[in-house]
Amino acid sequence: MTGQRNDRGTVLIVDDHRAVREELAFALDYDGWKTREAADGPSGLEQAQDPTVDLVLLDVKLPGMDGLEVLQKLKELRPDVPVVMISGHGDLDTAVLAVRRGAYDFLQKPFATDRVLLSLHNALRTRQLRAENETLRQTLRTEPQLLGQSAAMEQIRATVAKVAPTEVAVLITGDNGTGKELVARQLHVQSKRRDGAFLAVNCAAIPEDLAESELFGHEKGAFTGALTTRLGAFEQADGGTLFLDEIGDMPLAMQAKLLRVLQEGVVVRLGSHEPRRVDVRVLAATNQDLAAMVAQKTFREDLYYRLLVVRVHMPPLRDRPDDIAGLADHFLRAATQRNGLGKRRLAKSAYDWLRAQPWPGNVRQLKNVVEGGAVLADGPEIQADDLRGPEAAQPGRDGGGADWFAFQRLEDFRAATEKEFLRRKLLEFGGNIKRTAENIELQRSNLYKKLERYGLK
């Protein structure tokens, strides 16, 4: 009997006992893994050099070249591939030596199949996070972030440089689209944890009933639908940085549990009683006034002060007009390269138009506008009309394409203005339905209906 899919990854099983290899291969195949087998160290080393091998299960006692020697050579040949050691004669000293030489885990025979599968799942997830983190570091080395020559941006870069090497908590504030996550990524990449994982979690996007599972993990069977054991964000980011975006949208009950983890450095998965120690630096961000929320009893005061050791505020783009031209040039270079457009440049009319805009969507909106203009321009020089889009502002229009004097019925006029009002408010709040509804004093269910009616997604 085999599993329906073999797409989790490929595991190389190195063990001199054929029965052990077959037992492991059967269990892994059923769980959705591909497997390869080797009966000794040299054969295992040869097969491990195949780039399709994602993980290695390695026995300690092998004929000729023992498993610890194979492990050492494996880490030289494929340092990115996690190795889980298995042994029927393991002791604490052997396990410690194996981990020191780079083993991800050490399992002693006879072992439960679930324990092997859990170790492999965790090892693969750790490898993926490390690969993503390396990609992030390479990107940050080649593509500068926190751009801008304004005094505000100079101060932010100086603050990040001072704070990044420390372990203090940082609360990053600012409107949607100002670049709060970029600050968090810079804090990570300039820190001592740069070789660990960077994991971003949007608290506003997690359903309330799944928040605890997302952050702290769960055991198989902990609740309906928990078909497998799952690592939470804290365990996934162990040794690295966890960025909690939109922290102001975290439910009060979860705030208390988060505070306890921050104080004790220990998580307990749903469905488990086993505490697991984690070493994570937590950074948080919000576009809300947390001090006001504390006064209104909608955010815990103790958690607020736990998160607010250092504050970094990202100003809106409208408050730093001197940065607009430089940011636009940067986004234009990136857009032309990404879309294969060839050389493009912004005309004076384009710069003037960009500086005159209020930018409710901040840097994110500027990036999208510049990329759209680069695609729409007929030649190498981008004009203001290219940035406005195909529905450029004309007399009697609002700049977004609606001709308010063309309507024959008051009902049509009202519908058009309501649609434009909702569109702009959504843009102002970064697409956050909850905050948009609260700001315009409309029930969320009614807002959803209006958005569906007007085709606003």
For 310-360, what is each residue's pLDDT tens digit?
Answer: 999 999 998 999 999 999 999 999 889 888 888 899 999 999 999 988 888
Query: Which residues lie below 8 Å from residue 281, measured CB to CB, with a gap of 6+?
Result: 167, 169, 188, 191, 193, 240, 241, 242
Asked whether residue 196 is domain-assigned, the answer is yes
Same domain, 161 and 38: no
What's the confidence (pLDDT) of residue 407? Answer: 58
pLDDT tens string 198-237? 999 999 888 888 888 999 988 888 887 777 778 899 999 9
What's the confidence (pLDDT) of residue 375? Answer: 86
Give the pLDDT band (50/70/90) at residue 143. Answer: very low
Same domain, 420 and 445: yes
Give the whole-angstrom CA distance, residue 276 versus residue 160.
31
Same domain, 372 and 275: no
Give the pLDDT band (50/70/90) at residue 265. Answer: very high
User: How many structural domains comprise the chain?
Assistant: 4
Same domain, 155 and 266: yes
What's the confidence (pLDDT) of residue 386? Answer: 86
Asked whether residue 166 is domain-assigned, the answer is yes
- DSSP letter at 396 equals T
Between the CA of residue 97 and those of 16, 57, 308, what are the distances in Å?
Answer: 21, 16, 41
Give the pLDDT band (50/70/90) at residue 139. Answer: low
CATH code, domain carrying 424: 1.10.10
Same domain, 306 and 326: no
**Distance spanning both ends of the chain, measured CA to CA:** 45
Residue 452 has pLDDT above 70, yes or no: yes
Query: Which residues lie below 8 Å from residue 207, measured CB to CB, with a gap of 6+?
Result: none
Three-class SS of residue 302? helix
Give the whole-angstrom CA distance, residue 418 versus residue 420.
5
Q: Of 72, 92, 127, which closes a domain? A: 127
Per DSSP (E only), the strands in 357-432 are 381-382
Mean pLDDT for the stretch of residues 89-118: 81
Range with the poorest average pLDDT among 249-263, 293-307, 440-454: 440-454
Asked whether residue 133 is domain-assigned, the answer is no
Asked whether residue 379 is domain-assigned, the answer is yes
CATH code, domain carrying 339: 1.10.8.60
Mean pLDDT of the chain: 85
Query: Which residues lie below 8 Å from residue 157, measured CB to CB, with a gap of 6+?
Result: 146
Mean pLDDT for the stretch of residues 96-116: 83
Asked whether residue 132 is domain-assigned, the answer is no
Q: Of 75, 93, 127, which closes a domain? A: 127
**Joined tokens for residue 148:** 């801008």
Whether the predicted model's global pTM rises above the 0.85 cut: no
Same domain, 45 and 66: yes
Residue 109 has pLDDT above 50, yes or no: yes
What's the confidence (pLDDT) of residue 141? Answer: 52
Asked whether residue 41 is domain-assigned, the answer is yes
Count of beta carbons in the 10 Å neighbourhood of residue 209: 9
Mean pLDDT for the stretch of residues 38-63: 91
Give the whole-angstrom CA distance, residue 397 versus residue 375.
24
Per DSSP (E only), the strands in 15-144 are 34-38, 55-59, 83-87, 105-108
Residue percentage of the chain with pLDDT more than 90? 44
pLDDT tens string 368-425? 889 888 888 888 899 988 887 654 433 344 544 444 555 566 776 777 778 878 888 8
Give the whole-angstrom CA distance, residue 17 versus residue 14.
9
How large is the angle between the packed helices 18-30 and 113-142, nearest 10 degrees? 70
Residue 430 is part of which domain span?
410-454
Same domain, 180 and 298: yes
Please enumerate, as own/partner, the contacts of 296-299 that have beta carbons within 8 Å and a separation of 24 or more.
298/252, 299/248, 299/252, 299/255
Same domain, 182 and 260: yes
Three-class SS of residue 40? coil
Asked whether residue 4 is domain-assigned, the answer is no
Rg of the chain over all Cα atoms, to the nearest angstrom: 27
Give the whole-angstrom CA distance, residue 51 versus residue 400.
51
Cα-Cα-Cα-Cα dihedral sign, residues 454, 455, 456, 457? positive
290: exposed, middle or buried (Cβ count in 10 Å: 0-12, 13-18, 19+):
buried
- DSSP letter at 18 equals H
Query: Which residues lie below 8 Å from residue 164, measured CB to CB, with a gap of 6+?
Result: 186, 187, 188, 189, 190, 191
Asked whether residue 396 is domain-assigned, the answer is no
How large is the angle between the packed helices 67-77 and 41-48, nearest 10 degrees? 20
Cα-Cα-Cα-Cα dihedral sign, residues 400, 401, 402, 405? positive
Same domain, 223 and 309: yes
Contact 38, 44 (CB under 8 A): yes
Same domain, 48 and 149: no
4: exposed, middle or buried (Cβ count in 10 Å: 0-12, 13-18, 19+):
exposed
Give the pLDDT band (50/70/90) at residue 134. Answer: low
CATH code, domain carrying 120: 3.40.50.2300
Strands 276-277 and 266-267, sheet pairing: antiparallel
Same domain, 307 and 233: yes
Best CA proximity match to 121, nearest among 29, 225, 241, 8: 8
Q: Which ranges in 110-226 belong to alpha helices (H)? A: 113-142, 151-163, 180-189, 211-216
Q: Of 335, 357, 388, which closes a domain? A: 388
Same domain, 34 and 121: yes
CATH code, domain carrying 236: 3.40.50.300
**Joined tokens for residue 269:** 């998965």
Best CA proximity match to 98, nearest among 77, 122, 67, 76: 67
Best CA proximity match to 387, nearest among 335, 457, 425: 335
Three-class SS of residue 27? helix
